[in-house]
Amino acid sequence: MYDHTCPFHRNSWNCIKNQRQNMGRINSWKWVPEKCGLSRVDPERFLGLMRNRNVGFVGDSLNENLLVSFLCILRLGDEGAKKWKKKGAWRGGYFSKYNVTVGYHRAVLLAKYKWQPKQPDSNESGLKGTYRVDVDIPADDWAGVANFYDVLIFNTGHWWGPDKFPKETPLIFYQEGKPLNPPLGMQDGLRVVLQNMVSHIEQNFPAKTLKFWRLQSPRHFHGGDWNQNGSCVFDAPLDDFQLDSWFDPSNNGVNKEARQLNQVIKEVLRGTDVEILDLTHLSEYRADAHPAIWLGKKDAVAVWGQDCMHWCLPGVPDTWVDILVQLISNRFGSA
């Protein structure tokens, strides 16, 4: 297992370095599937399997969270791995011993979007401006990677809420260069973006490319949302009987996002060649495994609140990597 010295770490998720309490206990839990075995990744064997191939992650910071775990685990098989930032990638790693590149392309909505200041002749009270979202145009960050990666893992979802785009700065959806009329709300806008992005992927990415869509990572804010003093300073996972009260959308709690958006994503992906990577349920238990108040930066909690969305590393995303590697290995051979 990697530790706090991995050079690919992001400081706010490096919970050992940031002295998060109970890290030994947090990482003592193991996900055990009921009807199949799940072994830990053998980094050297997997890199050998992926020799001369590339793996890409496209989406928001929860895909980056997964990427960092992936990079730190694989580095155990090639300690000469170097940081990599090409092809429009936000960050990544190059494993020269095996000629394997792993990249992350930050595209929080997947579609192209840009800020539009409020027009001088606008009389809408309280409006500061809008974000134009072109539902049929992929963000520049990943538009040109179709032929570079052999495996791609997509996600979006965590930015599709009023905390990121409040009524003062809403999303306005465009298609073929024109505003959609009637205007779409947030969830309908997400659905249309997903439909267009999946269509783009199927039409422009090689059929041989292994494509995954990672479903939502659950949040664990207790007592309020991130900006309402929500907390996740727990020292044990949740029990089965607690999950619905935390995550069922019918309860309208602050953590309903994951299951709610997963329904939309699954509907859009049905019948496509994009495989669903469902890591939501296993992660719902782990209220204890977020950075919480241990963010590695003075006053971070006062400014941003506790981080009950991203995950400590080492931590839960390492299990995600175990599952992802097994699925990739099923395609390319036995790792």
pTM of the model: 0.96
The CA distance from 170 to 179, in Å, is 13
Contacts of 29 (CB under 8 A, 6+ apart): 237, 286
Whether the CB-CB separation of 111 and 193 falls below 8 Å is answered with yes
The CA distance from 89 to 58, in Å, is 9
H or E stretch at 134: strand 129-138
The CA distance from 13 to 20, in Å, is 10
Whether the CB-CB separation of 329 and 49 falls below 8 Å is answered with yes
3-class DSSP assignment, residue 65: helix
Domains contained in the chain, CATH given: 11-109+137-159+188-332 (3.40.50.1110)
Q: Which of these, 55, 152, 153, 146, lies nearest to 99 by C-alpha position? A: 55
HSE on the CB side for 211, CA within 13 Å? 24
Strands 129-138 and 171-175: parallel
The CA distance from 76 to 99, in Å, is 15
What are 276's strand-pairing partners? 213
Whether the CB-CB separation of 84 and 93 falls below 8 Å is answered with yes
What are 95's strand-pairing partners? 100
What are 70's strand-pairing partners? none
The CA distance from 67 to 62, in Å, is 9
What are 94's strand-pairing partners? 82, 101
Residue 335 in tokens: 């790792």
pLDDT value of position 335 = 44
Residues in the chain: 335
Strands 100-106 and 91-95: antiparallel
pLDDT value of position 162 = 87
The CA distance from 128 to 116, in Å, is 9
181 burial (CB, 10 Å; 0-12 / 13-18 / 19+) is exposed
Report helix angle 186-204 to 257-269, nearest 10.
Answer: 40
pLDDT value of position 124 = 77
- pLDDT tens string, the chain, 335 residues long: the values are 899 999 999 999 999 999 998 999 999 999 999 888 899 999 999 999 999 999 999 999 999 999 999 999 999 999 999 999 999 999 999 999 999 999 999 999 999 999 999 887 777 778 899 999 999 999 999 999 999 999 999 999 999 988 899 999 999 999 999 999 999 999 999 999 999 999 999 999 999 999 999 999 999 999 988 888 899 999 999 999 999 999 999 999 999 999 999 999 999 999 999 999 999 999 999 999 999 999 999 889 988 899 999 999 999 999 999 999 999 999 998 54
pLDDT value of position 261 = 96
